[in-house]
Structure 1
């Protein structure tokens, strides 16, 4: 029997929490949490999910798909328009690696701090 657990937060390590929160805020439209400060920033959705960004000195960005610095975690976002969303994300500072294992099903990007994330069709 599964435990009665509900995922409420995901936190990503990064060198600049404010900059990474700004990237994801522009990409998702989520609201900046009012208690965000220099070493921690967060975004909140209406359904209660919280995405946090915490400063880690000496942060080593993942190098997807290279496993020398593995991804450890990645986020998936469903979108209606893959091409349009890709263009906006690249303008915001996302990077699209050459290696794309998803074919037409999904696309892999990295955020400005190097964390991989995927776009899938809604």
Structure 2
């Protein structure tokens, strides 16, 4: 069955699009497609783009607990090394960690959640 849709763009609201773009550029290696005062679009050469939109007064979502939705999966070769490198880039580790030894829940510098999973 052919796909009904194809993902094109994921948009994250944030206080500082340029700062968050720097984090995601280092994470993904994606180039900037467009930038202006309120937006940075990443994804040059990628099949999906990431839009970072300035929202005055934006606050990070509450820290997760049981039943809280997380976010996208980011694959890496080793959790320990990947987690350490992401901390150095500005990611943080929420106290709630439902992934056990399989995946780690992290937050980007503005508090958006994502799962760090092992490749393979």
Shorter-chain TM range is 0.7 to 0.9
The question of whether the paired residues in 1 share the 8 Å contact of 2:12 and 2:51 is answered with: yes
Structure 2 residue matching 1:13: 3-state secondary structure: strand
1:45 Cα deviation from its structure 2 partner? 5.2
The equivalent of 1:31 in structure 2 is 31
TM-superposition CA deviations, 1:64-109 (whole Å, max 9, x none): 2159xxx766221111121111111100110011221100111001
The equivalent of 2:78 in structure 1 is 81
Cα–Cα, structure 1 residues 73 and 40, in superposed 2: closer, same or farther, change >3 Å?
A: farther
The equivalent of 2:88 in structure 1 is 91
Counterparts of 1:18 and 1:85 in 2: how far apart (Å)? 23
Instruction: For structure 1, list consecutive stretches of 5 or more residues without a partner in the other structure.
Output: none
TM-superposition CA deviations, 1:7-64 (whole Å, max 9, x none): 111000000111101101111111121x212210011053421011000111121122
The question of whether the paired residues in 1 share the 8 Å contact of 2:79 and 2:118 is answered with: yes
TM-score normalized with structure 2 length: 0.88
TM-score normalized with structure 1 length: 0.86
Q: How many pairs align?
A: 119
Structure 1 residue matching 2:82: 3-state secondary structure: helix
The question of whether the paired residues in 2 share the 8 Å contact of 1:18 and 1:38 is answered with: no
The CA RMSD over aligned residues, in Å, is 2.2
Counterparts of 2:70 and 2:10 in 1: how far apart (Å)? 10
